[in-house]
Amino acid sequence: MERKTLIYNARLVDEATDMKDAGILISGEKIEKILTGEDAAAILRAMDLDKADLSAGTDVFDARGQVVMPAFIDMHAHFRDPGLTQKEDLESGSRAAAAGGFGTLVLMPNTSPVISSQEAAEGNNRRGAGLGLADLFQSVSITRDFGGKDISHLESLDRTVVPLITEDGHEVLDSSVMYEAMKIAARKGIIVSCHCEDPFLAAAARPIRMAALEELEKGKREDAARLLAKADNLLRLAEDVATDRNIRLAAAAGCHLHLCHVSTKHCLEAAVRAKKAGQDLSLEVTPHHIGLTGESMPGIFNIVNPPLRAQEDRQALAEALISGDADVIATDHAPHTLQDKKGGSPGFSGLETAFAVCYTNLVMGSGMNLQALSSRMSAQPARLLSLADRGLIKAGYRADLAVVDTNHVWTVLGGDFLSRGKFSPWEGKSLTGRVTATLHGGRKVPPVTEP
C-alpha cells in the first residue's frame, strides 16, 4: 500500500494559488489532492475513528498555519564536487539545500577536474539521487576543461540529462567558438548559461580592488573609496560588454540564452529589450544583488563576482523581479573555506538564507507578493528546465514542498550552516522568514528546524 501524507492547517502558495486553511494529500511521491480545511478535517476524523486502518499508512503533518510552497529550484549552485570538497561536496550541499527549502538544483561544472562530459555529469546526478535529499542536474562546460576551443563533447549531450551548459566563472573568449557552441545547443534544445564578464577587464580591476581593500584595512576610507570606484567601473564594463556580445551571438545562433547573476542596470535593460524583441532569453538575479550594495558592504570577505553594485542597480533588479522582467532568482551558492575567503576568493554560501533574504527585501521591503516570489523561485525555473511535474502545488505534481514561517525573525550565524562554506554577508543580521521543513518526493527530509 502506497504511503500517504496529509498536510493540514496550511496556507498554500504557488504562482497561481494563495489558499488559507487548506491541506494537501500526498500519495507516494505525488500530490494526490488539494484539500480545503473541511476536507482535511474529515480525513483526520476518519483516521481517529479507524486508527488501525488509515493512520497506519498515513503520516500527518500539522503546518500550524505556516505557508506551504513548491520547493525552490536553483539554476545556479556550486557544490565543488569532485576535487574541491574541502569547500563543499554533494552531501553537504544537498543538506544545505534541504535546509533552505530547495528540491532541485543545477550544479556548475567548475570542479576539479572540470565536468566536461555527459558521463561525468550523470555520475554526479546518480550520487545526488542516492542521497535522497534533492534532485541534482550537473551542467557541463561549454569548452572541454574550460580550454576555450574544443566543443566536440557537446554533440553527445542529451538535454534530458544535461539541460544546461556553461563556462561559469569563465568566458569563452573566441566568439567563433561560442557561436558554434550556441548553434549546437540550439539544435539540441540545451540552454546556454553565460557568466558574462570580459576576463581582461576583470583582470585589470583585480589588483585595484585588492589595493582598495588594503587601504580600507588601514582606515584610509577616502583612498579606498576612490580605488574601489575605479575597480567597479572596470568590472561594470566587463559585465556590460560581455553581455552585449553574448546576446548578439545567441540571437544569431538561435539558442536559448540564460544570463547568470545579472547585476547592472545596463545588462538588465539589454536583456529585457532582447526578450521583448522576441529573443529566446532568460535571466537570473541573486539574493545578494537585491539585498546588498557595494557601498554598504566593502571588505575582502564581501568579494563576489559580479561584485555588489550601486543602489541604482540594486533597485532596478528588485523592480525587474517584481514585474517579471527578470525570470528567476538563483543563489550562485559559492562556498569557500575561511582561508580562501581571507585570500579574496569570490562568492558566498547562499542556499540557507535565500528565501529569507528574498522575503525580507522583496516581499516586506518592496511590496512583492508571495505568489510572485514563488514564481521566480519555483515555477519559472521549472519551466525553463522543462520540469513539467514541479514548481506548482497541483494534483499529479511531485510533492517537493517547502514549509516556511513568514513571521519568524532570526539572526544569521554562518557557523550553524550545514554547508561547509560558513561565510555569509548577512552574518549577525536579522532576516524574516525561515524554512521549517522540506519535503522531497513526499518525504520529509533532514534537516528539519522545528517552528
**Core vs surface per residue 186-210: b (16+ CB within 10 A) or e:** bebebbbbbbbbbeebbebbeebbe
Backbone angles phi, psi at 176, to 5 degrees: -70, -35
Query: Which of these, 311, 294, 313, lies nearest to 303 by C-alpha position?
Result: 294
C-beta separation of 199 from 171 below 8 A: yes
**Catalytic one among 74, 135, 332, 400?**
332
Q: Label each residue of 286-339 as H, E or C.
A: CHHHHHCCCCCCCCHHHCCCCCCCCHHHHHHHHHHHHHCCCCEECCCECCCCHH
List Cα–Cα distances, 6 to 134, 147, 220, 370, 382, in angstroms: 21, 51, 60, 23, 25
Length of the chain: 451
Helices 265-276 and 311-323 pack at an angle, to 10 degrees, of 30
Report the DSSP beta bridge partners of residue 55: none
* Amino acid in position 335: P
CA 52-56-61 angle, 5° bins? 125
Contacts of 111 (CB under 8 A, 6+ apart): 80, 81, 82, 83, 84
C-beta separation of 304 from 232 below 8 A: no
Q: Does residue 150 carry a catalytic annotation?
A: no
Give CA–CA dist 423/232, Å, rounded: 23
Give CA–CA dist 33/394, Å, rounded: 7
Give CA–CA dist 131/77, Å, rounded: 17
Which cell is 103 given? 528540491
The sign of the CA dihedral 119, 123, 124, 130 is positive
Contacts of 187 (CB under 8 A, 6+ apart): none
C-beta separation of 103 from 390 below 8 A: yes
Pairing state between β 58-62 and 443-444: unpaired
CA 138-447-31 angle, 5° bins? 70
Residues with a catalytic annotation lie at 332
